[in-house]
Amino acid sequence: MKKTEIAIVGGGPAGLGAALSAATMGAQVVLFDRQHNLGGQLVKQTHKFFGSKAQFAGERGIKIAENLAAKVIAHPNIKVLLNSTVLGYYNDKELMFQQGR
């Protein structure tokens, strides 16, 4: 059994952002994603985003996903578990997952 302060289910934009925010504040984070790569729906976005540069204006979704995923993978407080399906969360703060297919 392994312990962590924060478990995040889903490596899409929200999960990546949450993992980075928590880890930057010093928390130990485990990020689960059922896919073989991070980014969620962003990896399917081929159009360029609009808005400010801080919001990745002019970037394609796939590039935004790659950028965020690289930051998550490089962060020492984040452990990423790909190909992992979370099966349940129990009252005693235990989370069960299956890795691989």
In tens, the pLDDT along 39-62 reads: 999 888 877 777 777 777 788 888
- pTM score: 0.87
14 occurs within a structural domain? yes
10 occurs within a structural domain? yes
Using DSSP, how many helices (H) and how many strands (E) does the chain show? Answer: 2, 5
Q: How many domains does the chain have?
A: 1
Contact between 86 and 95 (Cβ < 8 Å): yes
Domain range for residue 18?
Answer: 6-99
47 occurs within a structural domain? yes
1 occurs within a structural domain? no
31, 76, 26, 35 alpha-carbon torsion, rounded to 10°? -10
The CATH code of the domain that includes 95 is: 3.50.50.60
In tens, the pLDDT along 2-41 reads: 889 999 999 999 999 999 999 999 999 999 999 999 999 9
36 occurs within a structural domain? yes
Place of tokens 């590039």: 63
66, 61, 33, 99 alpha-carbon torsion, rounded to 10°? -60
42 occurs within a structural domain? yes
